[in-house]
Amino acid sequence: MTKAKTKTVTLKVSEKTMKKMEEYFKDKRRPKTPPYAVFQADEMDTVVTLYQSGKAVFQGICADMDARIWYETEKQESGTAEMKEASEKKKEKSQTSFVYYKNTIGSDEVGTGDYFGPIVVTSAFVTKEDIPFLESLGVKDSKKMTDAQILKIVPKIIKKIPYSTRILTNRDYNKKYSTEINMNAMKAILHNKVLLDLSEKYGNEADYIVVDQFTYPSAYYKYLAKAPEVQKNITFLTKAEDKCLSVACASLISRYAFIKEFDKMSKNVGFYLPKGAGELADKAAIKIVNQSDFSALNDLVKLNFKNTEKIQKELKM
């Protein structure tokens, strides 16, 4: 006889639906409530957890059917609803990540693929006790979240999670960039600085120090050959933001700082600057040159990008 599989279904609900769920599960609640949850209750073979953020999690053999009832309720209340069933492969991968349920210091960066905007690198320290709080916020890789979502949840994260952030402006990037000091070298230097910042305070408490791998470990340490102090015992993981919550937090905080800096730059030039390094970035740079001169780009863009050459050809410089 094949054993029925346990399912995990998540549903985002409004305040009205939350109140209805609280009333319905009033006599079905468990004595203990998980951190940041309104309640945890039993509905036959399904465990239902409602978080303060409005996320409802249904776990059990009939989780999809029990979640469907509240999905329809939410649809009636707000006119729209979103229900997701966790993929077994994804769930297994997340649960078996050897650093996920550990105390970790993790680092990640943003801005390296943007023509405008700085490079921001952050490290964060996350303990096992922080996991329920971060999961209740829906913490994940910043690339999978909108800017609006990041601006909403990061202020909550930075009030609780220790972090260190370094911002490399494009003016400084252009001064440092050469054949000997490329972008990866600058990233390694910045990662090393933020990791040392947190390691000094929390190194004894961390089980692992994790970096979202952007180059081979041997190359990473080679870039730091002239650094006065180097953080050792690093665990390098690809797609680390999906496997380690401290890296996910670092990614989100970096993106938050990047958005803030980007907005300042846009206000200074008088119009919205596009992210990325596509055609819109080229047009924005040409507009700036026409308003001022080519030297104005030195503080705003990464001059070694191919965009610069295209702009010079366009302007016949």
pLDDT tens-place values along the chain, 317 residues long? 444 577 899 999 999 999 999 999 998 998 888 888 899 998 887 899 999 889 999 998 888 888 988 998 888 888 877 888 876 444 444 444 688 889 999 999 999 999 999 999 999 999 999 999 998 888 865 567 888 999 999 999 999 999 999 999 999 999 999 877 899 999 999 999 999 999 999 999 999 999 999 988 999 999 999 999 999 999 999 889 888 999 999 999 999 999 999 999 999 999 999 999 999 999 999 999 999 889 999 999 999 999 999 999 888 76
pLDDT cut 90: percent of the chain above it: 67
Q: Torsion angle, CA of 305/307/312/314, rounded to 10 degrees?
A: 170
Q: Residue 109: which of 101, 118, 100 has the closest Cα?
A: 118
Please say which residue of 64, 86, 108 terminates a domain. 86
State which residues form the domain around 24: 7-86
Cα 235 to Cα 89: distance, rounded to the nearest angstrom: 23
Q: What is the CATH number of the domain that holds 185?
A: 3.30.420.10
**Domain tally for the chain?**
3
- Tell me, yes or no, whether 253 and 114 share the same domain: yes
Distances in Å between the Cα of 180 and the Cα atoms of 118, 183, 185, 306 are 20, 10, 8, 19
Helix (H) / strand (E) element for 284: namely helix 279-291
Cα 180 to Cα 58: distance, rounded to the nearest angstrom: 54
- Tell me, yes or no, whether 242 and 272 share the same domain: no
- Tell me, yes or no, whether 180 and 236 share the same domain: yes
Tell me the pLDDT tens digit for each residue of 86-144. 764 444 444 446 888 899 999 999 999 999 999 999 999 999 999 999 988 888 655 67
To which residue do tokens 């295209």 refer? Answer: 310
Q: What is the CATH number of the domain that holds 42?
A: 3.30.310.10
The neighbouring-strand residues paired with 122 are 108, 165
Q: Residue 287: which of 261, 256, 258, 266 has the closest Cα?
A: 266
Quote the pLDDT of residue 141: 59
- Tell me, yes or no, whether 211 and 76 share the same domain: no
Average pLDDT, rounded, for the chain: 89
Cα 144 to Cα 146: distance, rounded to the nearest angstrom: 7
